[in-house]
Structure 1
């Protein structure tokens, strides 16, 4: 049975991959882009099965307007994919105030506002699915990716609290945590701070050199396979809370969670010792 999907940031990366695959299999797609002509080729090929809205997710009023219009015109949307975002690279000292604010506005606040705009519609129609593009760095961040990671840790925290709120209305949520993938994300959808020489002999410099020397080996993820896995997850019930995609994502997250749990267990006695005496 075909579904109707709403996808933000559909002009490139995972958003574009998702839109193409969904339209190919016969679903309807409401896609938002920043430039109105970004999906002209898909519009010409698929006609009225593709609904396009121009949206900058940092504009909260526009988010509500576009989401409201999509639900009104399409009557029902089964899956909302919050995908719009970009990466900011740089050590904490290297990135500027405006860069940090834009990163938070886009990846974190923009994603929150998309969810907030969609939830009333999903609740009124009796349920649906929200798929939030997160990242493996939501579990463990690399040097020079602290601000980007903060947005992903933040959106996962938001949904940890929101998931039980919306579950009684038949709304389920999946957080997608892909690793590094061979999309144009890093080249078209990235920003960087001003590199300071003082960080060259530090882990920040080491990571920059690793990325520069590793080439495609640093990006094992296949965007089409990842998009296919995301689409398949929408048919799973109950919805997976998290979807780890990529061998690098699995390794990073497994190591991070194992170390975190070991550290927690080591502090069990201390944690209990700080309770009020009975």
Structure 2
């Protein structure tokens, strides 16, 4: 028999966040769904479900995050599953992006995630239980031209997830970084990703096709977001969830190709990479 859980889901207005909220409610859970605006619209989409509580919150505003978490706790008494889903994409060559554009990307995708995680963890630690599910990306395993900056934020979340996992495991809290591939959400719609204002002609051959092709690909992605949501439901109810979960054949291929390339590079440079120890000195530190 499944126990009812309280979910806290960021970026729930559309895409993965909306589908996860819908699936969690259908599975008999209570859901705190956060949106940056138009909270009444989300409540209407989800038919004002009695187990739904919609909170307006911008993940980049720490005071709003703290208040939203307090409101969710006041409504349902606890949080069991945190889904850090809020984020956006940016198509740009890394050189093209201004400092302000880079900071905005990181403020939402990385520092915003940290804001929410810091706000929720005290409650999970007090309970000695809970799940943190961080939505990353196939671009958190490898990159393609034009998505390197966005991918770097997902690499960061993968690393943060690993650190959180080892720190929180003794406290009964599980962490999973879920890396979806291309799914037919609104991610590639003009409203969901941005392009850098600066365009450098030298990057036309590499980044140009991504700038011109994102809208064309929108709606043609292979992944079904409803099926992705069911994966998240299953993950939240698994006794021993994985730390890393690539989802989608394209993500698996991205991971496998990157792992193979890295292994080949390391092997080719192994004599150089292992040539830097002091002569006749025994290593004093071993990292498990």
- Is the TM value for this pair above 0.5? yes
What TM-score, normalized by structure 1, do the two folds share?
Answer: 0.92
Matched, 1:202 2:209: no
Which residue matches 2:284?
A: none
1:204-251 per-position Cα deviation (integer Å, ceiling 9, x unaligned): 12444554665654x111111111111111122211111111111111
CA contact (8 A) 1:200 1:206 kept: no
RMSD: 1.9
Gaps of 5+ in 1: none
Q: Which residue of 1 aligns with 2:222?
A: 220
Match of 1:75 in 2: 77
SS at match of 1:62: helix
1:120 to 100, 122, 143: 122
Give the aligned partner of residue 38 of structure 1. Answer: 41
Query: What residue number does 1:167 align with?
Result: 169
CA offset digits 1:109-154 (Å, max 9, x no partner): 0011211111111010111000000001001111111211111111
Deviates more, 1:203-212 or 1:171-180: 203-212
Kindly indicate whether the alpha-carbon contact (under 8 Å) linking 2:10 and 2:84 is maintained by their aligned counterparts in 1. yes
Larger fraction in helix: 1
Map residues 222-241 of structure 1 onto 2, 5 A cutoff.
222-241=224-243
Q: Distance in 1 between matches of 2:218 and 2:57?
A: 33
Q: Check the 8 A contact 1:4/1:27 in 2, yes or no.
A: yes
What is aligned with 2:279? 277
Match of 1:257 in 2: 259
1:100 deviates by 1.4
Structure 2: which 5+ residue stretches go unaligned? 281-288
| Residue 14, structure 1, aligned to residue 34, structure 2 | no
Count of aligned pairs between the two proteins: 276
Task: Indicate if the aligned counterparts of 1:220 and 1:247 stay in contact, CA closer than 8 A.
Answer: no
Contact 1:42–1:50 under 8 Å retained in 2: no
Q: Secondary structure at the match of 1:37?
A: helix
